[in-house]
Amino acid sequence: MNPKFILYFAWYYGFFVILRGPSYLVASLSLPLALLFIVTIFAHGSLLAISFAIAGGPIAIVAANSINGAADAAFFRIQIRIQDLYVATNITSQDYMFALSLSYLVFSLPGIVLYGVLGAYLKVFSLGSALPIIGVLVLLTLTVSNLAFIIAGLLKHIRNVWGITAILSIIMTVLPPTFYPYTDLPMNLIYVLSISPVTPAAVLVQGIVGKEPLLYSMLLILLLETVILTLLGRKFIRWRE
């Protein structure tokens, strides 16, 4: 593990991207904020419906930014071949994967803070729920980022990567119970949708904030997906290509 490289890379590719290209930050916030607006309109200002949309906002932001990392990973490997530089150093594939994953979490921080303020104002989030939610977001970042590495490793060119990530971003943030109560769905369907890491993360957050019963089985599923996708990500990253 090379913590110095991981922190420097995450700082440069996470924080400085916000400073150099604020339009990317606005774009990353557009979908969850648009869905929050739609929920507010169609729910006629119902605080209950809005609270679910606010609880799911950080989940959607982290998932979308992390899955879009497939484009970055593919571009770095295929186009500018930055992996070739790192392979020749003492930096490992795990260091590189952690660094990119952490950079997406850093890039997501403004959106998380925005939803945190809204959630605190509307009494959706509390100090007691902050730490468990942060833990869920960290696990989700790692899991979805590793899925992005798998996608990037399967690509031989970057021509279609942005279209693929855009489609996956919509599927992973809209279909799971991110912005609506998970109890609206049959339990069997919940477990089917848990193929996407966003589902167990959203279910856990709804339970943590007290909007729905807390399903501890979702934590086991999220941890299991994190381990499996991390192992698969290391295999498909093509570090020695």
Give the residue carrying structure tokens 């530089």: 85
- 84 and 76 in contact (C-beta within 8 Å)? no
Note the pLDDT tens digit of each residue in 149-158: 888 888 777 7
Token representation of residue 164:
């693929």
* Residue environment code for 13-36, b if the CB has 16+ CB neighbours within 10 A, otherwise e: bbeebeeeeeeebeebbebbbebb
203 contacts: CB under 8 Å, gap ≥ 6? 177, 182, 190, 212, 215, 218
pLDDT string in tens for the chain (241-residue length)? 788 888 888 888 777 777 776 766 676 677 677 777 777 777 666 777 788 888 888 998 899 888 888 888 888 877 777 777 777 778 888 888 888 889 888 888 888 988 888 888 888 888 888 899 999 999 999 999 999 888 888 877 777 777 788 788 888 888 899 888 999 999 999 999 999 999 999 999 999 998 899 999 999 999 999 999 988 888 777 766 5
Half-sphere exposure of 148 (CA within 13 A, CB side): 34
> Quick check: helix, strand or coil at residue 181?
coil
What is the pTM (predicted TM-score) of this model?
Answer: 0.89
The distance of Cα 148 from the centroid of its chain, to the nearest Å, equals 10
Compute the radius of gyration of the chain from its Cα atoms: 18
Measured CA to CA, the distance from residue 151 to residue 165 in angstroms comes to 9
Whole-angstrom Cα distance, residue 11 to residue 100?
10
CB 132 within 8 A of CB 42: no
Contact 66, 141 (CB under 8 A): yes
